Chain A
């Protein structure tokens, strides 16, 4: 079965620190890649996505992610975090099924806490 691994389950940073959350996936073919964010008490929201082209994609709120095909990775970064970035972050991979559809699987999530 395909899998998505997020290396850190909990991350604690001070405001203005830089952030990098790791994500690796197992599927060997063409994939679409996503990062979702869930702020406390809110539902999951799409942060950014990669389909093709420039492997460095920019999302909302200053987040970016880099797709490195050779490493099966799609790490999320932000140069300077804010207290309001406290949330849970999920990496997701979308890949084709033999039935002709597509399936998206999620990593276990990383809880980020930013100290003011």
Chain B
């Protein structure tokens, strides 16, 4: 597609339920990133994919969080047993990643606003 697509755009879930967030990157972008944006907290790095592998998972807040990417394209971020502190906007971005020269800037999706009640 023309841009990075994220779904759903909004999700309200009950505490303790599992949620799955989806990101469809720009076609041909090999690098995919998940960030979390909380009010007043800036962007918190969660995980990064180069192709289907994740060289850096250091940002995942706990073992309730997991992510996968298949076919070098779509990625899903899963949060198990959601807690109220998981409420945030989850942003996905993709990039033409040149391993030799670093990334060339991201294209962000519109995000998924997750509210845990």
User: Which A residues lie at the B interface, using CB under 8 A?
Assistant: 9, 31-32, 34, 36, 43-46, 49, 51, 90, 94-97, 99-109
Contact between B109 and A102, CB atoms less than 8 A apart: no
Q: How far is the CB of B32 from chain A (nearest CB, A)?
A: 12
Give the distance to chain B from A46, nearest Cβ to Cβ, in Å: 5
- 13 A–B contact pairs at CB < 8 A? A32-B101, A32-B104, A36-B106, A43-B109, A95-B102, A96-B102, A101-B56, A102-B97, A102-B99, A106-B43, A107-B42, A108-B41, A109-B43
Cross-chain contact B43 with A51 (CB below 8 angstroms): no
Q: B117 → chain A, closest Cβ, in Å?
A: 23
Complex contact B102–A102 (CB within 8 A): yes
Given contacts A43-B110, A43-B111, A51-B101, are A108 and B91 in contact (CB under 8 A)? no
Kindly state whether residue B65 has any CB partner on chain A within 8 Å: no
- In contact, A94 and B109 (Cβ under 8 angstroms): no
Residue B90 interfacial (CB < 8 Å): no
| CB < 8 Å neighbour of A99 from B56, B91, B104 | B56
- Chain B residues whose CB sits within 8 angstroms of the CB of A45 once the complex forms: 108
Number of residues in B with C-beta < 8 Å to the partner? Answer: 27
Whether the Cβ atoms of B50 and A101 lie closer than 8 Å is yes
A109 to chain B, nearest CB (A): 5
The distance from the CB of B95 to the nearest CB of chain A, in whole angstroms, is 8
List CB contacts (< 8 Å) of B32-84 with chain A: 33, 35, 40-43, 45, 48, 50, 55-56
- Is B20 engaged at the interface, CB distance under 8 Å to the other chain? no
Contacting pair B55 A101 (CB below 8 A):
yes
The answer to whether A102 and B45 have CB atoms under 8 Å apart is no
Are A44 and B99 closer than 8 Å at their CB atoms? no
Q: Are B42 and A108 neighbours in the complex by a CB distance under 8 Å?
A: yes
Q: Closest CB of chain A to B75's CB: distance in Å?
A: 15
Answer whether residue B1 sits at the interface, using C-beta atoms and an 8 A cutoff: no
Q: Which of B43, B55, B103 contacts A100 (CB 8 A)?
A: B55
Further 6 A-B residue pairs, CB within 8 A, beyond A34-B105, A51-B102 = A46-B107, A101-B99, A102-B99, A106-B35, A106-B45, A109-B43
Given A106-B35, A107-B42, A94-B55 contact (CB < 8 Å): no
| Residues of chain A lying within 8 A (CB to CB) of residue B91 | 43-44
